[in-house]
């Protein structure tokens, strides 16, 4: 079969990214313009600023991706773009640009689910990985345990009832006066802290063994710190970070391994920004070794938002004929697997 080259675009949150991906597995370029510095002073992503910045840089980012891949638009076979979920204004910049390119170049268009993209980052990192496998997707907006039944075929078996794992990291970091995004900062601090300083609650939901709840944990951490401050008792951010992180990681690892065993799945993949976490990777590596399970996760640059993962997902849509037309819109609450 002829090689398929896809130009992919991702603008669902605070990264403007474009990539050229060959046959869904090989990254020829992956340009990421992060807006994090702009949003940092507000302690989180400001949607209006995000949309404006995407508009400002999207053309340059696409030009950069084409240049780095050493290709012209004529060499492309399709355009892929994240169409949801995410910030509606931010998504619209990518979707409109992708539609313009598809129309102007007369190329097929694939609308990609952002979480599907995160899962597909594993296909890039591990060229031999094939479904079925179980995937833990943990990002700033999602915490899902998903059975990847086939390419493009997903079954959600567990999800968060309230905050996403990354959201909990970001909120706890904010309480500690740390910068946004909180995940990498807490990850680094936790390495120097005592994870047994306080045993924070692990959220469990009766009758739903694979669902998560992180809002109680977040509140427990925040209340604990405020109580200590009121009493004038000192504490170390390193110990808070390590104890909080242990509670998050324990739950993510326990539930995912339990699901893999219950469903008799031999392969586990990790995806999303929180899968960059060093303690999460360490614990999963140890537990999967003990349980005889195969573990896959992408390199850090493919864990957080990027267009290469969207290019991989778009490829599997393209070969299955799952294409969009020019009525494609931005869907801020797009469900996965339908
Ligand atoms: O996947 P992503 O880039 O964007 C979304 O789709 O949400 O994930 C961003 C999230 C943020 O909440 C950030 O704090 C978290 O991933 N994150 C981490 C780490 N690196 C990023 N969380 C824990 N440890 C990390 N090393
Ligand atoms: Zn993401």
Residue 143 sits at φ, ψ, to 5 deg, of: -140, 100
Nearest atom in ligand 1 to 169's CA: 14
Q: Is 14 in the pocket of ligand 1 (CB under 6 A)?
A: no
Query: pLDDT tens across 259-289, in order?
Result: 999 999 999 999 999 999 999 999 999 999 9
Mutation to probe ligand 1, out of 138, 139, 246 (largest number of atoms < 8 A from CB): 139
User: According to the model, what pLDDT value does residue 61 have?
Assistant: 98
Judge whether residue 315 has pLDDT over 50: yes
Of all protein residues, the one whose alpha carbon is nearest to atom 19 of ligand 1 is 183
Per-residue pLDDT band for 204 (boundaries 50, 70, 90) equals confident
* CB distance 55 to 95 below 8 Å: no
User: According to the model, what pLDDT value does residue 155 have?
Assistant: 96
Of all protein residues, the one whose alpha carbon is nearest to atom 18 of ligand 1 is 183
Q: Is the peptide bond before 269 cis (omega within 30 degrees of 0)?
A: no
Ligand 1 centroid to residue 70 C-alpha, Å: 31
Biggest CA-to-CA distance, the chain:
69
CATH code of the domain occupying 5-120+302-319: 3.30.420.40
Per-residue pLDDT band for 252 (boundaries 50, 70, 90) equals very high
Query: pLDDT tens across 8-54, in order?
Result: 999 999 999 999 999 999 999 999 999 999 999 898 999 999 999 99
Nearest atom in ligand 1 to 141's CA: 7
The closest ligand to the CA of 167 turns out to be 1
Per-residue pLDDT band for 148 (boundaries 50, 70, 90) equals very high
User: According to the model, what pLDDT value does residue 137 have?
Assistant: 98
Q: Strand, coil or helix: what is 337? A: coil
Residue 208 sits at φ, ψ, to 5 deg, of: -130, 75
**Selection from 105, 97, 104 nearest residue 8 by Cα:** 97
Query: pLDDT tens across 47-94, in order?
Result: 999 999 999 999 999 999 999 999 999 999 999 999 999 999 999 999
Rounded to 10 deg, the angle between the 182-190 and 237-262 helix axes is: 100
**Cβ-Cβ contacts under 8 Å for 283 (sequence gap 6 or more):** 249, 250, 253
* CB distance 121 to 309 below 8 Å: yes
* CB distance 264 to 156 below 8 Å: no
Q: For the full predicted model, state whether its pTM sits above 0.95.
A: yes
The closest ligand to the CA of 278 turns out to be 1
Cα 60 from Cα 95, distance rounded (Å): 16
Distances 230 to 80, 199, 201, 223, 286 between C-alpha atoms, Å: 52, 20, 22, 10, 39
User: According to the model, what pLDDT value does residue 338 have?
Assistant: 47
Cα 56 from Cα 50, distance rounded (Å): 10
DSSP calls for 296-336:
E---HHHHSS-SHHHHHHHHHHHHTT--B-TT----TTPPS
Query: Above pLDDT 70, what percent of the chain?
Result: 99
User: Mean pLDDT score of the chain, rounded to an integer?
Assistant: 97
Same topology, domains 5-120+302-319 and 131-298? Answer is yes
Look-up: residue for tokens 């494609």? 328
Tokens of 159: 């999800």
CATH domain 131-298 topology: Nucleotidyltransferase; domain 5 (3.30.420)
* CB distance 51 to 90 below 8 Å: yes
The closest ligand to the CA of 282 turns out to be 1
Query: pLDDT tens across 323-338, in order?
Result: 999 999 999 999 886 4
Tokens of 254: 């326990």
* CB distance 143 to 165 below 8 Å: yes
* CB distance 24 to 5 below 8 Å: no
Count of beta carbons in the 10 Å neighbourhood of residue 95? 25
Cα 245 from Cα 285, distance rounded (Å): 17
Every domain of the chain and the residues it spans: 5-120+302-319, 131-298
| Helical residues (DSSP H) of the chain, grouped into ranges | 36-40, 47-69, 88-105, 114-125, 165-175, 182-190, 215-230, 237-262, 278-291, 300-303, 308-319
Of all protein residues, the one whose alpha carbon is nearest to atom 3 of ligand 1 is 304
Nearest atom in ligand 1 to 12's CA: 6
Mean pLDDT for 214-218 is: 95
Nearest atom in ligand 1 to 181's CA: 14
């Amino acid at each position: 079969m002829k090689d398929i080259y896809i130009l992919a675009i991702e603008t669902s949150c605070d990264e403007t990214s474009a990539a050229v991906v060959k046959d869904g597995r090989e990254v020829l370029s992956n340009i990421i313009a992060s807006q994090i510095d702009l949003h940092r002073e507000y302690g989180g992503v400001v949607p209006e600023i995000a949309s404006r910045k995407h508009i400002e840089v999207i053309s340059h980012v696409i030009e950069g991706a084409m240049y780095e891949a050493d290709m012209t638009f004529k060499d492309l076979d399709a355009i892929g773009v994240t169409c949801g979920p995410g910030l509606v204004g931010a998504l619209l910049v990518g979707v409109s640009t992708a539609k313009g390119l598809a129309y102007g170049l007369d190329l097929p268009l694939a609308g990609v689910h952002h979480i599907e993209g995160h899962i597909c980052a594993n296909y890039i990192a591990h060229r031999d990985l094939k479904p079925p496998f179980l995937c833990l997707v943990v990002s700033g907006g999602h915490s899902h345990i998903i059975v990847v039944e086939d390419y493009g075929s997903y079954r959600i078996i567990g999800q968060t009832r309230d905050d996403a794992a990354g959201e909990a990291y970001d909120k706890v970091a904010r309480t500690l006066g740390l910068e946004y995004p909180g995940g990498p900062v807490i990850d680094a601090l936790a390495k120097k802290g005592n994870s047994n300083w306080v045993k924070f609650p692990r959220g469990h939901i009766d009758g739903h063994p694979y669902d998560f709840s992180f809002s109680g944990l977040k509140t427990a951490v925040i209340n604990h710190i405020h109580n200590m401050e009121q009493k004038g008792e000192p504490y170390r951010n390193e110990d808070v970070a390590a104890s909080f992180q242990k509670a998050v990681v324990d739950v993510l690892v326990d539930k995912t391994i339990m699901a893999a065993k219950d469903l008799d799945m031999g392969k586990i993949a990790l995806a999303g920004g929180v899968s960059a976490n060093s303690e999460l990777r360490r614990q999963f590596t140890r537990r999967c070794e003990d349980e005889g399970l195969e573990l896959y996760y992408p390199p850090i640059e493919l864990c957080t938002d990027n267009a290469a993962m969207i290019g991989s997902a778009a490829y599997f849509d393209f070969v299955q004929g799952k294409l969009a037309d020019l009525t494609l819109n931005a869907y801020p609450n797009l469900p996965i697997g339908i």
